[in-house]
């Protein structure tokens, strides 16, 4: 279970203060709702470890994780800026998420190939990100996050720019992740996505 206990955050020199207090069970999805600028990305950045809280705790299975650096947390994220390496092909972009030196097992290589097929990107492994559409880049970023197999997946508007077919593929993928026990936090403006994926909501 992921738990935020009285987590308090404020940007330096800003008056607004956020307070988060909720829990999400393993295999469940919490949707974060709120208008633009209300703090959805801020919340995800706190859980990911890219921002430090003023006070409060983040726990994973009752162990405090808020003092751990981002790379040691049981968390992976897909943010709006896809953060793909532009000079590396799709396969390498995904592979580097699994092993920073690209020392991949046969199973991992197979999982990347299968993931590409499953997300409609079969045969795209050798392309550079600049040779993909926005929606295709989004799928690569999602696949990279999913294949890292971290217990918590943070998603900031993961469906933005996807056509209905790609959207359905990604929704199915995320439902599969939930069914396999992955915990999701989803920031999304889209009510249908939230309806299909979320088990609970946090309103900002």
Number of residues in contact with ligand ATP under rule CB under 6 A = 10
Q: Which stretch binds ligand ATP (CB under 6 A): 29-37, 92-100, 107-115, 138-146?
A: 29-37
Q: Per CB under 6 A, does 11 bind ligand ATP?
A: yes
Q: Is 39 in the site for ligand ATP (CB under 6 A)?
A: yes
Cβ proximity to ligand ATP, 4 vs 98, nearer residue: 4
Closer to ligand ATP by Cβ: residue 136 or 188: 188
Minimum distance from residue 11 beta carbon to ligand ATP (Å): 4
Contact between 74 and ligand ATP per CB under 6 A = no
Contact at 8 Å (CB) between 24 and 183?
yes
Binding residues among 40-69 for ligand ATP as defined by CB under 6 A = 40-42
| Residue 25, helix vs strand vs coil | coil
Distance CA 106, CA 159 (A): 30
Q: Which stretch binds ligand ATP (CB under 6 A): 33-41, 67-75, 128-136, 163-171?
A: 33-41
Among positions 14, 62, 63, 203, the unique one binding ligand ATP when judged by CB under 6 A: 14
CB of 153 to ligand ATP, least distance (A): 17
Interacting span for ligand ATP (CB under 6 A) from 22-30, 39-47, 71-79, 161-169: 39-47
Q: Do the beta carbons of residue 80 and residue 160 sit within 8 Å?
A: yes
Beta carbons of 144 and 119 less than 8 angstroms apart: no
Sheet containing 63-64: order of strands:
18-24, 2-9, 55-60, 63-64
Instruction: Write the CB contacts of 119 (distance below 8 Å, at least 6 apart in sequence).
Output: 139, 142, 143, 166, 169, 170, 173
Residue 124: alpha-carbon gap to chain centroid = 22
Cβ neighbours around 184 below 10 Å, total: 23
Q: How far is the CB of 8 from ligand ATP (least distance, A)?
A: 14
SS3 assignment, position 140: helix
36 binds ligand ATP (CB under 6 A): yes
Note the residues at the interface with ligand ATP (CB under 6 A): 11, 14, 34, 36-42
């Amino acid at each position: 279970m992921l738990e935020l206990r009285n987590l308090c955050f404020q940007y330096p020199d800003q008056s607004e203060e956020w307070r988060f207090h909720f829990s999400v069970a393993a295999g469940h999805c919490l949707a974060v709702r709120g208008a633009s600028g209300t703090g959805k990305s801020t919340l995800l950045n706190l859980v990911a470890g890219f921002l430090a809280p003023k006070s409060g705790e983040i726990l994973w299975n009752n162990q405090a994780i808020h003092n751990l650096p981002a790379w040691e947390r049981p968390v992976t994220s897909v943010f709006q800026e896809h953060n793909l390496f532009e000079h590396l092909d799709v396969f390498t972009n995904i592979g580097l998420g699994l092993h920073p030196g690209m020392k991949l097992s046969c199973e991992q290589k197979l999982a990347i190939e299968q993931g590409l097929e499953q997300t409609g990107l079969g045969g795209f492994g050798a392309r550079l990100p600049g040779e993909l559409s926005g929606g295709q880049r989004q799928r690569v970023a999602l696949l990279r996050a999913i294949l890292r197999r971290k217990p918590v997946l943070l998603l900031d508007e993961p469906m933005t720019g996807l056509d209905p077919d790609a959207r359905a593929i990604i929704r199915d993928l995320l439902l599969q992740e939930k069914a396999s026990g992955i915990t999701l936090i989803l920031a999304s403006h889209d009510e249908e996505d939230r309806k299909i994926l979320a088990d609970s909501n946090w309103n900002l």
